[in-house]
Amino acid sequence: MATVLFVYPLELLSMRYSVTSNVYGHVLRAPRRIMVLEGGLGALYAGVIPAVLRALVHSGVQVSIFTSCYNYRRKQLLRERKLHLSYTDLLGCSLAASLVALSASMPLELIKCHMQVQCIGARQKRFTDIFTAIIKLTRENGISTLFGGLGLMLLRELPYTVLNNGVYLTMKSHALNKSGMPTHQEYDFF
């Protein structure tokens, strides 16, 4: 959570510049301009509560789904007298955990983005907190609006998870080979 809080102003600036860069001028002047136009240092943290909650939900769901899947598959393999999960097993558990976690945290991600860009160009704030955002968004566009863009996010998550875990497992295997430790054809995540 400390990381989210530390880098959040940069995330806000990135979001604002992706929407419109002409409002703020040079990127180094943008934080000061945001603070002057939008009410102080707190303006650099617009939407930070949904960001922190999203990180908590995403991490919690991802760890619990991965652990459940890993333990379930491990029990199956032990019955078959195999000691380690294969790369495919680990990838399946990681992918399931990532996709479920992303789906569970999507409404908070969407609210965070809305709160980050709502004051661009001296517009009036629409959302003061998470609950106001949920109520207004669902009244205007229905519950499905909280999951807008989820399909694309899930498509993005597929190659990310495959590459991320592939690199991790390859590097782990390489490090174990160099250290002289015995390695297996199969992988164990922990």
- β-bridge partners, 85: 187
User: What is the pTM (predicted TM-score) of this model?
Assistant: 0.78
Q: What is the pLDDT of residues 55-114, one digit of tens each?
A: 999 999 999 999 999 999 989 988 888 877 887 888 899 999 999 999 999 999 999 988
Residue 114's nearest CA partner among 136, 99, 98 is: 136
At residue 189, the pLDDT reads: 52
DSSP H or E segment with residue 11: helix 2-19
What is the arithmetic mean of pLDDT over 23-31?
Answer: 78
Q: pLDDT tier at 29 (50, 70, 90 boundaries)?
A: confident
**2-168 maps to which CATH number?**
1.50.40.10
- Residue 15: what residue type? M
Residue 31's nearest CA partner among 51, 19, 46 is: 46
C-alpha of 83 from chain center = 32
